Structure 1
Amino acid sequence: MNPIDRRRTRANPARPRALYVAAALIALTVAGCTAPTQSAPQVSSAAAASLDAAIDGPQRSQPARARDVYRHPEQTLQFFDLAPTQTVLEIAPGGGWYTDILAPWLHDSGHLYEAEYLGPTGAPDAEERATDIAYRHKLAAAPAIYGNVVVGTLQAGTFSGFDADGRFDHVLTFRNIHNWIKDGQLDANLRAFYRALKPGGELGVEEHRASPGTSLQQMIDTGYVTEAFVIEHAQAAGFVLAGRSEINANPRDTKDYPHGVWSLPPTYAGGDADRARYAAIGESDRMTLKFVKR
């Protein structure tokens, strides 16, 4: 966006006051387009209480709870403007870290859909297949919690297993953008998210954050992506940036590790090498962005 023209002009006493008011309103509107860092919006006490109950529920394992200090699920979901009455689509749930929160929270009054991600081959590799099988077994084993969850797939911008056209209040994705860049599917997926949302619906993105100026190849190699890259591609898909938050920032993350972001917990790709150092850093520095479909 071009910066606001701040050159001073001599006031014309004869100019109608309404023109000054209009100019001021335009300036405020343009300034608002810069989407400054935002805190989580206020939510109703009942919605907040039900979210707290979902986060504290027995369906969440102790290892999952231990990651709350890095992932801030309550603040993140509130920043994304979620409510328990909405229809939500989560992309690439993995083992279901966020599913364990979203499923009970949306169970009674909302709807939760999950799209497992299929890469360029159209089929998961052995590790992904094992994760997907374990995920579906978990859902099937606790129907009182997960019985309403609808599971489908996403490949190259195409959803399977459910109708995705204009039906969702929110599409959410957590730490997946780097995979789609590597697979050449980012733009197709973003366009699919835009089509899947209702007018006014929101896309919530959390992603490992690279330093400005990081090259595309470095993003692929390290798993860290610049905010500018994500925003540019989301806007190209039709989205408008609605806000950004530092909820999931980590200033201890220097982003210069031999195994990229996977050096850090929970992956520890380097094994025991410098493990104590990485544990002290914690999980990655992450951008948290929300976009709206106009």
Structure 2
Amino acid sequence: MKKVSLAFVLSAVLFSPLSNANDNLDAIQLAVEHSSRSADNVQRDQYRHPAETLHFFELTPNSTVVEISPGGGWYTEILAPLLAAHGKLYAAHFPSNSTSEYYNTHRAAFVEKLAANPIYNRVVLTEFAVNNEQEIAPAGSADIVLTFRNLHNWYSQNGDAALLAAYKQFYTALKPGGVLGVVEHSLPAAQKDSDWVKSGYVPEELAIKLAEQAGFVLEAKSDINANPKDTADYEHGVWTLPPSFRLKQQDRAKYVAIGESNRMTLKFRKPVTQ
């Protein structure tokens, strides 16, 4: 693709009668290449395929997006420049009144990140926790809700009930016809009867079933983030693999060769008619 500015591509997408899905993909790719991204995060594109993933979830530069539990802001670094001119980004981070030191430390680091660069000036910081009464975004306002590798955290809190409650919050925030995009570490079907809850992996069948119970319709799956080298049978779960390397230097070359986890990539739709 010819090197042009993100602003130029955004204008083409928004104002040209010929704009199409390829224009949106070009805009996403330019956001992926944005100079504000950290070098360490860019190195992980080979495992996370951000341009293809966001395109699959139907992002456009004028989408209203809710990013759930953005952590350190890996995807925020891409979403913020993409949506800065004509879209809207809600970052639903840990609650500000949490008693968890982990939550408070990571939220504070994220707030500091947002304040450090004007590319984040229009990001709206909200809060998310399972059964939290605060809005992640105004009800019925979002075109897209995104969650990356979070389902296992919620499921470990209270099983089906916790994950179902999270899905219901996403459903409330979305417009009719809106998209829920889910990326999660995928448990092999052969291991569904094992003690998997603390492994970091989630059965795809379960992720889909609970989303459907919340009212969503599964529209499509993608192998964009699949990794057949991942056997998902490690003593320290998914955190054995990069980037966590729970075993530190032990067998590090082996886990580097495997790469990041095998992930399901699911696109759900909130029905237009109830």
- Which residue matches 1:74? 51
Q: Deviations over 1:3-49 (max 9, x none)?
A: xxxxxxxxxxxxxxxxxxxxxxxxxxxxxxxxxxxxxxx95343222
Cα gap change, 1:177/1:47 in structure 2, threshold over 3 Å: closer, same or farther? same
Q: Give the distance between the partners of 1:128 and 1:278, measured in 2 at CA.
A: 28
> Structure 1 residue 161: deviation in Å?
6.2
Q: Give the distance between the partners of 1:216 and 1:152, measured in 2 at CA.
A: 37
Instruction: Verify the 8 A CA contact 1:91 1:117 in the aligned structure 2.
Output: no
Is the aligned partner of 1:180 residue 2:157? no
Instruction: Verify the 8 A CA contact 1:171 1:203 in the aligned structure 2.
Output: yes
- Which residue matches 2:219? 242
> Structure 1 residue 131: deviation in Å?
1.9
TM-score between both structures, scaled by the size of structure 2? 0.86
Q: Of the candidates 120, 142, 146, which is equivalent to residue 146 of structure 1?
A: 120
- Which residue matches 1:5? none
Instruction: Verify the 8 A CA contact 1:194 1:238 in the aligned structure 2.
Output: yes
Instruction: Verify the 8 A CA contact 2:216 2:270 in the aligned structure 1.
Output: yes
Q: Deviations over 1:167-197 (max 9, x none)?
A: 1000000000000001122111101111110
SS of the residue 1:155 aligns to: coil
Which stretches in structure 1 are left out of the alignment for 5+ residues? 1-41
- Which residue matches 2:90? 113
Q: Give the distance between the partners of 1:182 and 1:133, measured in 2 at CA.
A: 24
Instruction: Verify the 8 A CA contact 2:91 2:124 in the aligned structure 1.
Output: yes
Q: Give the distance between the partners of 1:59 and 1:249, measured in 2 at CA.
A: 27
Q: Deviations over 1:58-78 (max 9, x none)?
A: 111111000000000000001
Instruction: Give the partner amino acid of 2:249.
Output: D
Q: Of the candidates 269, 273, 286, which is equivalent to residue 250 of structure 2?
A: 273
Q: Give the distance between the partners of 1:168 and 1:80, measured in 2 at CA.
A: 13
Q: Deviations over 1:107-141 (max 9, x none)?
A: 0010000101459xx62632332221111111111
Q: Percent identity?
A: 46
Q: Give the distance between the partners of 1:193 and 1:255, measured in 2 at CA.
A: 28
Q: Give the distance between the partners of 1:175 and 1:82, measured in 2 at CA.
A: 19
1:159-198 alignment to 2 at 5 Å? 160=134, 163-184=137-158, 185-198=162-175
Q: Give the distance between the partners of 1:217 and 1:180, measured in 2 at CA.
A: 19
Cα gap change, 1:67/1:162 in structure 2, threshold over 3 Å: closer, same or farther? closer
Q: Of the candidates 123, 136, 156, which is equivalent to residue 111 of structure 2?
A: 136
Instruction: Verify the 8 A CA contact 1:151 1:161 in the aligned structure 2.
Output: no
Instruction: Verify the 8 A CA contact 1:202 1:293 in the aligned structure 2.
Output: yes
SS of the residue 2:264 aligns to: strand
Cα gap change, 1:216/1:196 in structure 2, threshold over 3 Å: closer, same or farther? farther
Aligned alpha-carbon RMSD (Å): 1.9
Give every structure 1 segment of 4 or more consecutive aligned residues whose post-TM-superposition deviation is greater than 4 Å.
Answer: none
SS of the residue 1:258 aligns to: coil
Instruction: Give the partner amino acid of 1:77.
Output: L
> Structure 1 residue 249: deviation in Å?
0.2
Is the aligned partner of 1:126 residue 2:101? yes
Instruction: Verify the 8 A CA contact 1:153 1:160 in the aligned structure 2.
Output: yes
- Which residue matches 2:41? 64
Instruction: Verify the 8 A CA contact 2:128 2:136 in the aligned structure 1.
Output: no
Instruction: Give the partner amino acid of 1:205.
Output: V
SS of the residue 2:128 aligns to: strand
Q: Give the distance between the partners of 2:156 and 2:103, measured in 1 at CA.
A: 16
For these two proteins, the number of residue pairs brought into alignment is 250
Q: Deviations over 1:222-251 (max 9, x none)?
A: 111111010000000000000000000000
Instruction: Give the partner amino acid of 1:202.
Output: V
TM-score between both structures, scaled by the size of structure 1? 0.81
